Amino acid sequence: MSINRACLILNASFEPIRISSCRRALTLLAKDAAVIEEHHGVEVYPGIFLPSVIRLKHYRRIPVRISVLTRKNLYMRDRHKCQYCGEVFSPRELTLDHIQPESRGGRYSWENLVSCCVTCNRKKADRTPEEAGMTLLHKPKMATIHTARYLIRLIGLTEDEKWAPYLYN
């Protein structure tokens, strides 16, 4: 079992706040800032198990923050799905598409960028979706704190079955 495996971190109120590596979780445990709620059953040190879910001992106020506009965050917002054909791709197979092309004043913004496969991006070329005869699956919008929480739940349901009780399904 790898120490870089994912670990769910809960606030003191049992609210999921992030997914981190087991290495980071072990650091929080060593600092006595957290307790293990679930573990993988593998002893890392005598009496210390590789955590699957940890809970912070003291409540931490998590500020509402606006997500930074990055390629990774856009792919996550769109769930690695081409917004024209609907197929799911790996990050290496995706590109970013400007709905309003850059050559026509299209901005680099949450509302103007979508995940797109190479085939659909070539088909659309330097045109708007309407001009290319293509339709978007979803109207793009800025990622919010609700998007981040949804993604934690989505990842958690596929990552580790021990996380399910903590993800408020």
Question: What pLDDT score does 64 carry?
Answer: 67
Question: What pLDDT score does 169 carry?
Answer: 53
Fold observed for domain 71-132 = DNA Binding (I), subunit A (1.10.30)
- Give the pTM: 0.62
Q: What is the DSSP letter of 133?
A: T
**For residue 147, what is the enclosing H or E element?**
helix 145-159
Sign of torsion over alpha carbons 70, 75, 76, 78:
positive
Cα(42)–Cα(27) distance, integer angstroms:
17
What residues contact residue 45 under an 8 Å CB cut-off, 6+ apart? none
Question: What pLDDT score does 122 carry?
Answer: 96
What is the number of other CB atoms lying within 10 angstroms of the CB of residue 97? Answer: 22
What pLDDT digit, counting tens, does each position of 29-62 carry? 999 999 999 998 888 888 889 999 999 999 998 7
Tell me where in the chain the CATH 1.10.30.50 domain(s) lie: 71-132
Question: What pLDDT score does 32 carry?
Answer: 96
Under-70 pLDDT residues of the chain: 1, 63-66, 145-146, 157-158, 169
Question: What pLDDT score does 161 carry?
Answer: 83
Question: What pLDDT score does 54 carry?
Answer: 96
Quote the tokens at residue 13. Answer: 């109120």
99 neighbors 114 (Cβ within 8 angstroms): yes
Residue that is written with structure tokens 């792919």 in the block = 75
Question: What pLDDT score does 17 carry?
Answer: 87
Question: What pLDDT score does 1 carry?
Answer: 59
Question: What pLDDT score does 61 carry?
Answer: 87
